[in-house]
Amino acid sequence: MVQTGERLASTASERYLLIYMIAVLVIVTTLVIIFFVVFLKRKNKLLLDKIKQQQAFEAEITQAQTEIQEQTLKNIGWELHDNVGQLLSFASMQLSILKMQMSDDVKDKFAETTDALKQSLKEVRSLSKSLNNEVILNIGFEQSINNELDRLNKMKFATATLEVKGEKVLFNNKKDEIIIFRIIQEFLSNSVKYSKAKHLKIILQYESDHLKITASDDGIGFNINTIEKGSGLINMESRAALINATLELTSQPNKGVQLVMEYPYK
DSSP code per residue over 16-27: HHHHHHHHHHHH
Higher pLDDT, 261 or 107: 261
CA distance 2 to 10: 12
- Residue 176: its pLDDT value, please? 87
Average pLDDT, integer, range 104-108:
63
Question: What DSSP string runs through 252-266?
Answer: -TTS-EEEEEEEE--
Distance between CA atoms of residues 241 and 202, nearest Å: 21
**Mean pLDDT calculated for residue range 238-245:** 87
What lies within 8 Å, CB to CB, of 242 at 6+ separation is 59, 62, 63, 66, 179
Residue 150, pLDDT score: 84
Burial status of residue 32 (CB atoms within 10 A of its CB: 0-12, 13-18, 19 or more): exposed
Q: What's the predicted TM-score (pTM) here?
A: 0.59
The whole-number pLDDT of residue 51 equals 72
Contact yes or no for 137/174 (Cβ under 8 A): yes
Integer distance in angstroms from the first to the last C-alpha of the chain? 88
Model confidence at 42, pLDDT cuts 50, 70, 90, reads confident
CATH class of residue range 157-266: alpha beta
Q: Of 155, 154, 219, 214, which Cα lies nearest the Cα of 190?
A: 219
